Amino acid sequence: MNWRMPSETDPQDRVWMAFPPSGYLLGESAEDADEARSTWSRVAHAVLDFEPVTMLVDPKDREIAARYLSGEVEIVYAPLNDAWMRDIGPSFVLDESGTELGGVDWVFNGWGQQNWASWEFDARIGAEVARSAGAQLLPSSLVQEGGGINVDGLGTVLLTETVQRDPFRNPGISRAAVEAELAQKIGSSNAIWLPRGLTRDSQRFGTRGHVDIVASIPSPGVMLVHSQRNNAHPDHAITQALIAGLRDTHDAAGNSWRIVEVPAPAVLKDAEGWVDYSYINHLAVNGAVIACAFDDPADDASRGLLQDAYPGRAIVQLDARPLFARGGGIHCITQQQPSVRRQG
């Protein structure tokens, strides 16, 4: 059977998330824990205005999750190490007819065996979610995360050398081997390799270069790319080089991209150093885009760019600073399940 990962803008049946379990996401105080749980829940309830949400909850958190989540959120109980559903969950695909749902279960090893990560439970979540969704389970031998790829649904996949070819994920693997596995599992035929990701994401508590804070494809032939305009930030040189390289690439039909540069927020640092705040890390849902805001002068401009990129969809901005402080954004904590074509 031939499988295809559809565009994130295609119709969806639901969005999957995970409620933050005990661990570093909850911080060191009751206020930190409340901030994390409230932020994840706020994203879930924003999505609920447009489509169903299913939340994985660690059984130990049954009672506390009930205090944060409305009864409209469907709950599935499963042990968790973390709550980055984009990375620990499956990548959903459809068959050629669009009538069968598959769930690609990538190997998850804590973003390349990071010494701060635990993954004995999270490594099972891809299969658990696929089964709960009624999807055909499609195991893969490739170590990677959902945040490490972005597709246009027409054959193009965006990748990063420092993720798929990370020696702590897939030691010694070639581009050809990665591309062959992706062709089989998600139907890609046109791989675009970014050399690296953003500065903070390349440091100790990052993913080593996830593409979903760097570039995304909102519609055929259009690419949104993160652009750091302030040359005091190390990402200025990085994003200029990435944009220049992407201008030399093409889609699966051989057409050049229309590159839309999305300026980074004005803020450059937080208490931990250079930020990687990015408006690229948004979630398209039925009729809307759930987007990051940072209480920043650039929020309004990003809203306009997203509105242009997703005409006819509501743009819902949520404060993403508590997410980025913990290592990700709105796209990172969500995973969309595409709609299947109903037969008969």
Q: Please confirm, yes or no, whether 292 is among the known catalytic residues.
A: no
Which among 129, 133, 18 is positioned nearest to 69, based on CA atoms?
18
Give the span between the Cα atoms of 320 and 306, in whole angstroms. Answer: 16
Give the span between the Cα atoms of 339 and 26, in whole angstroms. Answer: 33
Dig out the tokens for 146 from the structure. 């959902």
Give the span between the Cα atoms of 213 and 163, in whole angstroms. Answer: 13
Q: How far is CA 5 from the centre of its chain?
A: 14
Place of tokens 């195991």: 139
The CA distances from residue 34 to 27, 140, 329, in Å, are 9, 36, 17
Catalytic member of 18, 332, 333, 340: 332
- DSSP-derived secondary structure letter, 228: -
Pairing of strands 136-143, 101-107: parallel
**336, 283 in Cβ contact below 8 A?**
yes
Looking at this protein, which amino acid is placed at residue 143? V
Question: Which residues are catalytically annotated?
Answer: 332
